Structure 1
Amino acid sequence: MPGFLWTGNKAIDGTSTELYRVYIYTDKQCINRVFTSAVIGSPAYAPRPFGPLALPATPGGVVGARSQYLLDGTEPPAFTYDGESITTSESAQAATPTTSVPGAPGADTTNAGSSPAAPSSSSGTGSSGFSSTGNTGAPIDLWDTNWPQSGYYWTVVAVGAVSPNALYTNVGAAGAKAADTSLPLANGGGFNPGDTITIGAGATQEAGTIVGVSGDTVTLATGLKFGHGGGESVVRSGGALQYQDLELPQDVCAAGRVMRFGKESEPSLVSSGELFATGLSSEGRLTSAVHTTAFYGEPLVSWTPALGAEAYEVQWSKQQYPFTPVTLATGSNGIITGATSIVFPHELGPGTWWYRVRGFDYSLPTGAQQMSWSDPAQLVVAKPKFSIVPIKTTAKKASAPKLATGLTSRSGTGFTLGVPTRWARISLKDSVASFLYRDPATHTNVVEVTSSGRGARSYTQWAADLKLELAAGAGATPTTSIVTLTAGKAVRLTLTRASNGLEITQVQYVVDAGASAYAFTFTTTAAHVRADLPTFAKMIASLRLAA
């Protein structure tokens, strides 16, 4: 629910006010009301789920309330301008949390077996075992609208603190100064000793007790704190204060004091280019959707939190459109959870599945707390693979991949790379590089360094980060591209710079390997770059990562 701001302190008839109330409607004519705020004394309002402020019920309490912070409590009786009794939405009964999957549209989704103070379950089709405890507060939120095609309309009205059967008059023309005990009235009829009156308005308003009446002049028990001029209001209280609107919402809306707004919650995301899923691959390795398109067994699927959601429902379908939820063994057509991830239900079995997620906002009324569905996402669950192992046979050793002519396979930590036969291995003390080969004649070389992997970054973002890192270290800006090698996807960075009076060219391939990355840097000089570039391409094409 948004907050609301306004300016001005006069009712539509010009009456000054220091109290306000916000109304929200579904129509511009302000007929169908869906929210009623508490009475507030500020030009701003935000709903409170645990009740309004304890407003004063006596004129003297009103004077004191202007200089202090009020505690939570209940509002005194309140009425619209035409006398209808109203109660703020903040005082509504706490909503019962949705803790089991609601039925299909048109089915009974009323929650059962829980109370506002300690909600624990709700009815529907089947049960997910999810529970919620504690007081969620009054349902002070509103449902989403199809903004901007539809929305809500809000207005603010002036409110006055009034006493039923009160007696009203004004200070006489002569007025009274501070410390006076005599107060002239425009009409002293009806005032009697013992009456409590309120004199003036705003910052100089004060209360007094009448001890004597003489015609149109009353004598007060104590001297006045402020001076009061002729015409200021004098009110004798007729009982506990009530809070009444000083104007009709329909009138002020018709006069143009109305604004439109929409409400649109952000649904959960189940993918962002790549699926949010983790599990065993068909080869039995623990992996994420970044490295595989199919999982074996029961992968874990997750999603981003939705603003305002306190629980989530997940549904599964064999087709994307129309999305038809399957019925689980519990009898429900989904699973509800308080987490942002869930394990694929084993009972669904292998195949291609589509799933979607929606949140539940406990600030909405009981039985209608559903939020927007996410877009359906595809998940492929592979069938198990079996192989028959023959007995008393000798397994044929798999042949190594054939290398390009002139290359010899060299092993590094977690990989093999084809290197020209004439190149020699170089060992450097105190170096992070353990794989270094160089052409003795031209000094063309290749170096491998292992670093942290790409993580959750996209390849585009990873390439941009690598570009900045290399530029900072080399003093020159490289060009980048994303390439696909036999070993997997990689980022290719190329730069030319001066070093010790020579112009050198460096070609670097950074290969993603999950938790780590392999960076292969090929270096040559301007005199040999034309001949060396094809060799670099053959070498990186021969790269194989260990299983």
Structure 2
Amino acid sequence: MRYVRLALLAAAAVTLLSGSALAQSTTSLGPPQGLKPFLLRASEPAIHVFPRTPSFSWAPVRGAYRYEFQLSKTAAFQDGSIFWASSGLRGPAVALPVTLPWMTGAPYAAYARVRAVTSRGVTAWSRPYGFNLEWTDVPKQVSTYPGMLQWTPVEGATSYQVWLPSINRKFESRTTAADEREIYAFRTAPLGPVVWRVRAVRRVDPARVALNHLPPVSYGPWSPRYTATNPTLAGGVVRPLASVSAAATSTSSVVRAHEMTPAFVFSGTADASGARHTLFRVYVFSDARCVNTVFTGAVVGGQSYVPRRAGTLALPTDPKALAAAATTTIAVGDEPKPTTVDGAPVKPTEALVPVAAGGATSSSSSSSSSTAAGAGSDATSAGTPLPTISGWPPIDLLESGWPNGRFYWTVVPVAPVPTFDDTGTISAYTYSDVELPQDACAAGRVLQFGKVSSPAVAGQGTPFASGLSPTGRLVASSGANSVFHGAPLVAWKPVPGAETYQVEWSRTRYPWRAIKRIDVTGGTAVSLPLKTGSWWYRVRGVDPAMPAGRQAMTWSAPLRLTVAKPKFRLIASSR
């Protein structure tokens, strides 16, 4: 009993001393130094403008056992201006678990600060570090096929908004291309040169920003006015010409893989009988005979098709409206119950219900979903689908299994079909494909392409990793096997099409046995809660526009990290 009383007295003494130390004025302890944001490694030079959400690092404070970090809309950090905070950071770096919108201020739109909790008390807050988030450039026009619009990508953009001023039409595209469906609908030539503008769109998680009073959608500036001069549609039987994406073009002579569903370009206006048409529909199949459909395009005018958000045309069904269609702009709306040539109903993929939950579920029972990165609290969620940000319909194709796995596509004309009343007068019109896609493919009017998502780039042999070294210094990875103490922060480059990410780790590279998986629903970095030892980790994107339950993209190449015991003395604390 005597030893127990002595132990209790000793513990009480430590508690009193620690409490007394923590009660010291925060101004008596110097603040953390060197606070700065970065994208991939903490060794990057300090800057104040970023195209996407950065992470933050600072010099370790001697005797610190945790850090408190805050983001605010003002440098004064009033309670109402703070939009994200963490009080449980165990190391000198933090990965923000939120996707921040583009925002600029005078001089800055957001400010960060950090302080340390030590055995001697709480330090003063660091000097606020101001920063802005904004686009790196406006989209620039790219030379492409007639009847299609194409532009350069903008880092940090999640999609693009296209504006056709002459008809006051705006629509959204996930890729860096758009068709001219409303310009050409019911026409063989546009009414004049097509003037267009485009701007980058950045969507963030609406649930998170609602709590933090940040806008769920932000925009870059409109591009200058671009002009596309398109010729009259070529004659001949309609046939596929090319599938086009930002990084590849597939034709009849060269088959390439695309990282997202490409734009489809075709030529000709006639069906097999020679009759000419002004409306067309693209189909994509998993087989060369064009029997098993995996994607159905919307009805378009012109000679290209690019999927959109909510962009199908409300084709006129009234005889008077159809007669005037060639001189008017067709409104956006549901296609009027179209059918295939054999009478089956047609539903364009871009008109399907947007995927509300990500569907990239964890396959391991040990998977988890991180709450606030670096806060030290994980919520187990085995098999739980990731939330999505933008709610796109499933317009992005699954992986094809490239290079042997291929998709096959063709295009068929679409025509209005009259409905007669009892007097034999046309009372309305419906719309039907003029040919079976199977017959078009059998006639040789079919092209191939591959689909393979870009793997996340988490480092090129050397991880994009930062954290506390075993000797107590802030370090960034510089070799193939980086050594850290505690939870290293790993980052990666954004993947086209991905809105969220998954990170998992294994003790061995092969065979890969995932110990745990973390869902990263904001930003492109996370702190890994690794135990002491050697580890391999990998990252993949999650594409919300792929079919539900199949939205996981390609894993990055595994990268190695080592977590070692500290070579510095840890100062005990009761807090």
User: 1:132: Cα distance to partner?
Assistant: 4.4
User: 1:93: Cα distance to partner?
Assistant: 1.0
User: 1:286: Cα distance to partner?
Assistant: 0.8
User: 1:245: Cα distance to partner?
Assistant: 1.0
Distance 1:286 1:163, change over 3 A: same
What CA deviation, in whole Å up to 9, does each residue of 1:228-287 have, x standing for no partner? xxxxxxxx41x3210011111111110111111111211101111322101122221111
Q: Which residue of 2 aligns with 1:530?
A: none
Q: 1:274 aligns with which of 457, 462, 483?
A: 462
Distance 1:159 1:166, change over 3 A: farther
Aligned-partner residue type, residue 312 of structure 2: P
Query: 2:392 & 2:519 partners in 1: Cα distance?
Result: 25
3-state SS, counterpart of residue 370 of structure 1: coil
Q: Which residue of 1 aligns with 2:520?
A: 336
Query: 1:74 & 1:160 partners in 2: Cα distance?
Result: 16
Q: Which residue of 2 aligns with 1:78?
A: 338
Q: Which residue of 1 aligns with 2:394?
A: 139
CA contact (8 A) 2:503 2:520 kept: yes
Q: Which has the higher contact order (CA 8 A, sep 6+)?
A: 2
Q: Which residue of 2 aligns with 1:125?
A: 382
Q: Which residue of 1 aligns with 2:431?
A: 243
Query: 2:446 & 2:297 partners in 1: Cα distance?
Result: 15
Query: 1:297 & 1:28 partners in 2: Cα distance?
Result: 53
Q: Which residue of 1 aligns with 2:405?
A: 150
3-state SS, counterpart of residue 267 of structure 2: coil
Q: Give the 5 Å matches for 1:493-532.
A: none
User: 1:100: Cα distance to partner?
Assistant: 7.5
Q: Which residue of 1 aligns with 2:502?
A: 313
Aligned-partner residue type, residue 313 of structure 1: Q
Q: Give the 5 Å matches for 1:155-166.
A: 155-165=410-420
Q: Which residue of 1 aligns with 2:549?
A: 367
User: 1:324: Cα distance to partner?
Assistant: 0.6
User: 1:17: Cα distance to partner?
Assistant: 1.0
User: 1:49: Cα distance to partner?
Assistant: 2.6
Q: Which moved more, 1:244-253 or 1:66-75?
A: 66-75
1:31 equivalenced with 2:291 (yes/no): yes
Q: Which residue of 2 aligns with 1:44?
A: 304
Distance 1:126 1:86, change over 3 A: closer
Percent of aligned positions that are identical: 40
User: 1:71: Cα distance to partner?
Assistant: 2.5
Q: 1:11 aligns with which of 260, 266, 271?
A: 271
Q: Give the 5 Å matches for 1:225-244.
A: 236-237=425-426, 239-244=427-432
3-state SS, counterpart of residue 326 of structure 1: strand
Query: 2:552 & 2:340 partners in 1: Cα distance?
Result: 32
User: 1:24: Cα distance to partner?
Assistant: 0.6
CA contact (8 A) 1:102 1:123 kept: no
Q: Structure 1: which 5+ runs fail to align?
A: 108-121, 168-189, 192-235, 328-332, 390-547
3-state SS, counterpart of residue 6 of structure 1: strand
What CA deviation, in whole Å up to 9, does each residue of 1:281-334 have, x standing for no partner? 22211111127831111221111111100000000111111111114xxxxx43
Q: Which residue of 1 aligns with 2:250?
A: none
Query: 1:99 & 1:139 partners in 2: Cα distance?
Result: 11
Q: 2:348 aligns with which of 79, 84, 88?
A: 88
Q: Give the 5 Å matches for 1:345-360.
A: 345=529, 348-360=530-542
Distance 1:275 1:137, change over 3 A: closer
Aligned-partner residue type, residue 319 of structure 2: P
Query: 1:366 & 1:303 partners in 2: Cα distance?
Result: 25
User: 1:80: Cα distance to partner?
Assistant: 0.9
Query: 1:43 & 1:157 partners in 2: Cα distance?
Result: 11
What CA deviation, in whole Å up to 9, does each residue of 1:514-540 have, x standing for no partner? xxxxxxxxxxxxxxxxxxxxxxxxxxx
What CA deviation, in whole Å up to 9, does each residue of 1:40-91 have, x standing for no partner? 1111110113241111112321232222332221111211111112111121
* Number of residue pairs the alignment of both structures matches: 299
Q: Give the 5 Å matches for 1:412-491.
A: none
Query: 1:269 & 1:104 partners in 2: Cα distance?
Result: 23
After TM superposition, the score normalised by the length of structure 1 is: 0.51
CA contact (8 A) 2:470 2:483 kept: yes
Q: 1:65 aligns with which of 308, 325, 332?
A: 325
